[in-house]
Amino acid sequence: MQKTRGEMFPRISRRKTREIWVGKVAIGGDNPIRVQSMTNTDTRDVKATLTQIERLKEAGCEIVRVALPDERAVWALREIVRESPVPIIGDLHFDISLGEKAISAGVAGLRINPGTIKNKKRLDSLFKAAKESGLCLRIGINAGSLESDLLRKYGRPGPFAMVESALRWVNYVVEKFDYYNLKVSLKSSNWWETVKAYEEFSKKSDFPLHIGVTEAGGLIGGTIKNTLAVGYLLLKGIGDTIRISLTADPVEEVYVAYEILRNLGLRSLYPDIIACPTCGRCEIDLMKLYREVERWARGVKANIKLAVMGCVVNGPGEAREADLGIAGGKGVGIIFREGRILKKVKEELLLPTFFQEVEKFLKEHPERLNP
């Protein structure tokens, strides 16, 4: 008997937040958890930045943030915003005038880190312009740049200092400007302190939360830190949009985000690929086989489970819950569907034949395709 969704995934009751908008993308409320990333190109290089934005969009990224280091970057922003297939958020630090010019350039959102802005009085003109434009403002609190009075009060940049900073700025914007198109982040490089900050803030505010770990590290270390923090928070129902910050190609951030969401039963975009570990029985280059399947599957947006197994004897049985799979052998391999062997083929034909069978399966089950 096929398992129900409740048996396959944890039951998560999402925290109810207010709905806000970043361009045409709704966040919070009953909307799906949105996936974001940030370009690592020089914003002043319009062509390179738009090329990366397009790659991010194709990977499933719904909102992209770009750096605003100087006037030239803001000037380039006009064309980037005009040509981008997804809403663009400007990342603002230090210089308020760059934020005001980014608003004029048409960004869908601004991320501000109040701790990096020395002239707090100038922020009023920015908040006023942001409200008039209707853009989304993210109050982005970072442990590494908290206000000095909070560091004196708490002694260190811990979770409660971060929460007080976030509430200070959210309440200020709401009360003085009657401005509610806001989301909040509270990030540290310590994943546990990040978690505690988000938990505490979520008790005190219903604004949507952008979750993730800052300065998390490279593809492996950063993925682990982010998975611990983001996975923990999502299990608690906390989080409306995520960025998996990695010292890697930003497209990898998007793939990791969807892996986390799928494994929690919250959102699926790409095929789920299971694979057995290598062992002494394996008579095929299983790691190469897996990489080829993974690379091909990144071009397939479908809710389907694929298996890559190294042993033709046990493969179909161990991966019986996969929709389709392959198992390698010495010079030959098998292709199986829902635990039943479909055909035996020569090793050099294994992958192309397998891909054909997956495409055939999806034609038979168009409901499995993700838009």
Q: 108-112, 134-138, 208-212, 214-218: which range is least confident on average? A: 214-218
Which residues are registered as beta bridge partners of 333?
328, 345
Q: What is the pLDDT of residue 94?
A: 82
pLDDT tens, position by position, 28-65: 999 999 999 999 999 999 999 999 999 999 999 999 99
Q: Is 275 strand, coil or helix?
A: strand
What is the tally of structural domains in the chain?
2
Instruction: Label residue 235 exposed, middle or buried (CB < 10 Å: 0-12, 13-18, 19+).
Output: middle
Q: What is the pLDDT of residue 44?
A: 97
Number of Cβ atoms within 10 Å of the Cβ of 156: 10
Q: What is the pLDDT of residue 28?
A: 97
For the residues 190-210, what does the mean pLDDT come to? Answer: 97
| Residues 198 and 258 placed together within one structural domain of the fold | yes
pLDDT tens, position by position, 139-152: 999 999 999 999 99
Q: What is the pLDDT of residue 339?
A: 82
Average pLDDT along the chain: 92
- Final residue belonging to a domain, choices 263, 296, 324: 263
Instruction: Label residue 23 exposed, middle or buried (CB < 10 Å: 0-12, 13-18, 19+).
Output: buried
Q: Cα 19 vs. chain centroid, distance in angstroms? A: 19
Report the predicted TM-score, pTM, of the whole model to 2 decimal places: 0.92
Structure tokens at 265: 């039963």
For residue 194, give Cα distances in angstroms to 121, 217, 229, 271, 335: 29, 15, 7, 30, 45
Q: Report yes or no on 4 lying in a domain.
A: no
| Residues 210 and 284 placed together within one structural domain of the fold | no
Distance CA 130, CA 294 (A): 42
pLDDT tens, position by position, 243-280: 999 999 999 999 999 999 999 999 999 999 998 887 76
Q: What is the pLDDT of residue 315?
A: 66
| Residues 239 and 340 placed together within one structural domain of the fold | no
Distance CA 54, CA 58 (A): 6
Q: Report yes or no on 159 lying in a domain.
A: yes
| Residues 62 and 133 placed together within one structural domain of the fold | yes
Distance CA 359, CA 366 (A): 10
DSSP string computed for 102-124: HHHTT-SEEEE-GGG-S-GGGHH
Q: Is the CB of residue 182 less than 8 Å from the CB of residue 201?
A: no
| Residues 50 and 176 placed together within one structural domain of the fold | yes
pLDDT tens, position by position, 321-345: 899 999 887 788 899 998 888 999 9
Task: Name the residue range of residue 111's domain.
Answer: 10-263
| Residues 209 and 300 placed together within one structural domain of the fold | no
Q: What is the CA radius of gyration of the chain?
A: 23
